[in-house]
Amino acid sequence: MEYAAWPQVRGDLSSARRAAAAFLDNLTFEDRSGAADRQNWVARWTGIGDEHGVLGDRNIRSGALHEAIEAWLCALTAFEVARRLVDEDDQQSADASARLEAGIQRFELSLEQKVERVQIECCDQTEFLAYYLPAGSPDLCAPAVICISGEQESGTTLLGRLLPVVFGRGISLLVISHDDISNCSRSPSDIVLSCCLDYLSARSDVDGTRIGVYGEGFSAVLATDFAASDRRVAAAVCDGGLWNWTRILASVSWITKAADVVDEGLASVRRSQLIRRLRCPVLVVAGGRGIVSVSEAIKLQADCMAATIGIELVIPRMIRTPEGEVENFVTSDDCIFRWLEQQLARK
C-alpha cells in the first residue's frame, strides 16, 4: 500500500472514516514482511490519531467547538484501526487503548457532547457504572441504545469505537461492559438489562418507547434474551437465538453420538420458534469476530422469510492475512447504527 494512500489530517469525520474503511478493505500482508508491515501501519495510524488529537485541541482553544469534536472523533477512529492491527497481548495494543481513553476524556471539554459516568442500580441491590452519551440537548426526547461490550472488551473500548459512529445520528447511548453484567450474579442478565432500560426510561432526554439493544460478540446472546423477556425493547442487534440453537444441536449430537441427527424440517421449525420470542425488529451480525456462523444465519433468515418474520443480516467484511483476520469495523458499525437509526425513528 503506497504512502500516498494515507489520509490527510483535516478533521473531517466522514472523510477520515472513508479512508479508514478503504485502508482496511485493501489490507494485505506479504508473507515475509507481514510483521514489519503491521508494525509500520500501527505506528502510522497511531500517528494519524495523535495528529487529529492535536488539531482538535487547537480548535477548542480557538473556540471552534464543532471542528474540535470532529477532529477528536477522527482520532478515535484512527486509534481503533491501530488497535485492530495488533495482538491483544502486544504493548502497542495497550498504547492504543490508552489513547482511546484519553480521546474520550477530551469530550469532557465539550458542553455539546459530554460523556457521563452514571450509576445503574440493579434489583438485587448491586450497582455498577456505565457510560451515558446524550444525543444532544437535554430538552430533546431522543431514542437510545443499550450497548454491551464483548466478553473480552471493556465498556471504554466499545465507547471509543462507537462515538464516531453515532455522531449526528440523534441517538443516545448507554454503554456497559459484559463483565459488569456477568458480575451481577444474583440477577439474570435480562433483569440487569431491564434495570438499564428503567434508567433510560426515567431520563427526560430519552424516549422510553424507542430504546434498542446492541450486543457485541457473546453479548449478542444477552441481547437476545433481554429482547425476548422485555417487550419494551424496540429493536435488537443480537444473535437471534442461534447460540442456544447451536447448543441444542451439540447436545443432541452428543447424546445420540450422531453428527446429522436433526431433520432439517424440524430444525427450521425450531429456529422459527426461537426467533418468535422476540417482539421487535431484529438484526443479526453473522461471521467475523461474532459468535453466529454465516450459514446458520442465512438458514435463520430463510426460515423467518417463510414464516413472515422480519429479520435482517449484517455480515462484516473480514480481511484474511497470514497473521489472522482483521474486521472492517468501520463499514459494519455504520451499517448497524444506520439500521438502528431507521428502526428507532419516530413513526
CATH architecture classification, 3-109: Up-down Bundle (1.20)
Opening angle at CA 325, ends 151 and 217, nearest 5: 20
pLDDT of residue 157: 92
CA distances from 127 to 116, 220, 267 (A): 16, 22, 40
Q: Are 318 and 288 in contact (CB under 8 A)?
A: yes
pLDDT of residue 126: 79
Q: Does domain 116-343 have CATH number 3.40.50.1820?
A: yes
Q: Which stretch of DSSP H or E encloses residue 332?
A: helix 329-343
Domain boundaries, the chain: 3-109, 116-343
Grid coordinates given for 81: 484501526
Q: Which stretch of DSSP H or E encloses residue 106?
A: helix 91-106
In this prediction, the residues of the chain whose per-residue pLDDT falls under 50 are 1-4, 31-33, 252-254
pTM of the model: 0.89
pLDDT of residue 139: 74
Residues near 179 by Cβ (< 8 Å), separated by ≥ 6?
151, 154
The single-letter DSSP state of residue 257 is T
The single-letter DSSP state of residue 108 is G
Is 116-343 the same fold as 3-109? no
Residues in the chain: 347
Q: Are 163 and 110 in contact (CB under 8 A)?
A: no
User: What value does the mean pLDDT of the chain take?
Assistant: 83
Task: Please report the beta strands in 47-198, taking only residues with DSSP state E, as ranges in sequence order.
Answer: 116-121, 127-133, 142-148, 172-176
